[in-house]
Structure 1
């Protein structure tokens, strides 16, 4: 830390507030951290820090995409950038404030080490965040500080952030290396290397893998990927326990659980009997956690394939998080998962096959659901009406209206229309057109 003259607190910091056009998100920091910061600088600056922290996380992922990897890793990263932004504001508001590196930032650093991301990428992320935070603070100071004070405040921001980030980088490097060493000297390192070798299709001796993992790799496997969108101190243990218990509830006699970060778990169950007909419905899931199951597969190849199925199911959840429950099974979403491997192409396919019925609105959703059930029940109006709990005449009207919106003869494109309807059922807005956009950029290929 350099020894420089400090002119005192920056009063403009207390005037900060988030942009009115910005919809505030829940803070990624702990309640205690937010309460302490609010007491010291007020709710407006805290809201500003939450908004800027999210923007910093987005900038980092854009510049260093390896630090992303889904919603859960993003929330962990956001927790760190938000905490760093709050600490910078506290230092600007009070030169005597604690300069210690926030624990929330260290949590993310440890996860980077466990995910085996290179230290060079972590340090590049810190540099990117430093530049973006400096720019945000300079802009805020320009807007709120008195003209006579701006020059001195700009200097203060520059010096404070330089010192803060210098110390931040040193502490993050030390924490990263310590976590990496802990991982290497634990049995987890050897287990993870073996699992990744199997997933990569490398030659692995079944007997050696079975002994190391304490798991029958030659058995019938059911894989699950579990993750939490909002990491908390209790997340790691809760997530591992929940993944194991869910596999056991599905009939697995033994399980292998492998944490791959603070908010993500890979797990496998050795299934000796058929999966129970009724999946557990009353299970108490950890708050904010999701579970994507693969298909049942056999042997070393099945160990890898069931995990790949679970990854496809997890991708479906990421594409439409509000349209899926906490638990998603690959067999239930297999067709949309395969179709969405090329999402832009799937959007075009859905638009071509469904025409105006591809609009994202409650009305067209009702028509799509009616048409899908009508077709799945071999065009039985009575069966569709029973499933929808409406009158037969209502189904007749909806089916007629849906076919009008298709813009082409249903009979000539029946398999394609059914595939498009299934894709919209699972993926929702991810493959639909916004309601305000009533026409295609290009006309459907059937016209």
Structure 2
């Protein structure tokens, strides 16, 4: 049900965090409907998990009409499943009565459920729009949208110096498990402080994500250290933009952080907790038009673009071999295999390419780099449904 709703209504958001919020609400609603079916004395159709998701929708800007449409889609899915079970499990002579009972119960359930959800949405919306957090978020969104703002007034509202140099972060939970968003905030601020930021700004985005900025008068040449050099708690992922100056730089580094986050979410790596835009910029540019990027990969790599473990081994070995100046020894050290294994894999990869690897070295290296960053998302056939995050 959650998969169907998120597919039909993109406003609910992509990624594991927004999906988990939606899934908790749909699962709790189905369990409550089953209880009401067994025990008609249970009169409250709403669940705390659904209300929690309702509040999250408000804070992420999901419109009420989309929330209500999601509820109607859920009702349709529940009705279909219950009726199909009735046809399978109930003797033929009892089915008409049981189906009438099911229809009545589901109507009573969804009527009460949708009423509670609408009431809570409007109440949370009133609370949210009058809060300081909403005012700060509105100011940040106005800046990001390129609206004309009084920079000094905005800086006072945000308690953050906008005229200096900035580095932006996008942060999210790798595996949402009910962990407090305060932990995400502490991780983002701690990382920025570790990068020597003298001021920070954090804007929560729903329960499972946030945007953050760090600033100082002038960043060092290597403002964001290499991934792994600053500790980040397990289950938290960060994506960083490059240094930007002033209001324009505030927007630029944020856009880069979002791009880095989308590529990281398209190809999650458990050993990579921090992704820097500088490290994936080429892949971000190449994948701006993902269908065309996939066609490029298919043309350049041919059978090497297969979604198999063997093809992945050949691609990775060939990538290291070319990056090391065609050194078998260096490639063997980097891939942790024997030199003869590298030689065999390179020969096999060249056979699959159908030409000497030096003939189109630039194109081949570019394609291999793109696959390395995007992972399986880059190899999805162009005719398959687009399931990767929107670029």
CA distance in 1, matches of 2:314, 2:278: 25
Deviation at 1:369, TM superposition (A): 1.6
1:285 corresponds in structure 2 to 233
Tell me the C-alpha RMSD between the 2 structures: 2.1
User: Which of 333, 344, 349 is 1:397 aligned to?
Assistant: 344
SS of the counterpart of 2:182? helix
Instruction: Measure the CA separation in 2 of the matches of 1:69 and 1:255.
Output: 27
After TM superposition, give the deviation of residue 273 of structure 1 in Å. Answer: 3.7
* 1:9-60 alpha-carbon deviations (Å, 9 max, x no partner): xxxxxxxxxxxxxxxxxxxxxxxxxxxxxxxxxxxxxxxxxxxxxxx11222
Give the 3-state SS of the residue equivalent to 1:86 in structure 2. helix
> In structure 2, what is the equivalent of residue 213 of structure 1?
158
Please report how far the alpha carbon of residue 431 of structure 1 lies from its aligned counterpart in structure 2 after TM superposition. Answer: 2.0
> Residues 377-434 of structure 1: CA distance to partner in whole angstroms, max 9, x if unpaired?
2223332233234444433332222111112343332211111000111122222369
How many Å separate the matches in 1 of 2:289 and 2:374?
13
Contact conserved, 1:76 with 1:230, CA < 8 A, in 2? no
Closer, same or farther: CA 389–230 of 1 in aligned 2, 3 Å: closer
Shift of the 108–333 alpha-carbon distance from structure 1 to 2, 3 Å rule, reads same
- For 1:40-55, list aligned pairs within 5 A: none
Q: Report the alpha carbon displacement of residue 211 of structure 1 after superposing the two structures with TM.
A: 0.7
**Is residue 250–residue 279 contact of structure 1 (8 Å, CA) maintained in 2?**
no
Aligned position for 1:306: 253
Distance 1:139 1:194, change over 3 A: same
Alignment partner, residue 199 of structure 2: 254
Runs of 5+ unmatched residues, structure 1 = 1-55, 435-447
- What is aligned with 2:125? 180
Match of 1:264 among 201, 204, 209: 209
Match of 1:40 in 2: none
Asked if 1 retains the 8 angstrom alpha-carbon contact of 2:237 and 2:273, the reply is: yes
Correspondence for 1:6: none
Higher-RCO chain (CA-CA 8 Å, sequence separation at least 6): 2
1:25-104 residue pairs with structure 2 within 5 A? 56-97=1-42, 99-104=44-49
* Displacement of 1:295: 1.5
State the TM-score, normalizing by the size of structure 2: 0.90
1:381-396 mapped onto 2 (5 Å cutoff): 381-396=328-343
Q: 1:277 to 1:316 in 2, by over 3 A?
A: closer
Matched, 1:235 2:183: no
Cα displacement string for residues 236-292 of structure 1 (whole angstroms, at most 9, x for unaligned residues): 2222222211221222222100012111211111144422645555735253x3222
The TM-score, its normalising length taken from structure 1, stands at: 0.79
- Whether 1:431 and 2:354 are equivalent positions in the alignment is no
Distance 2:22 2:69 in 1: 14
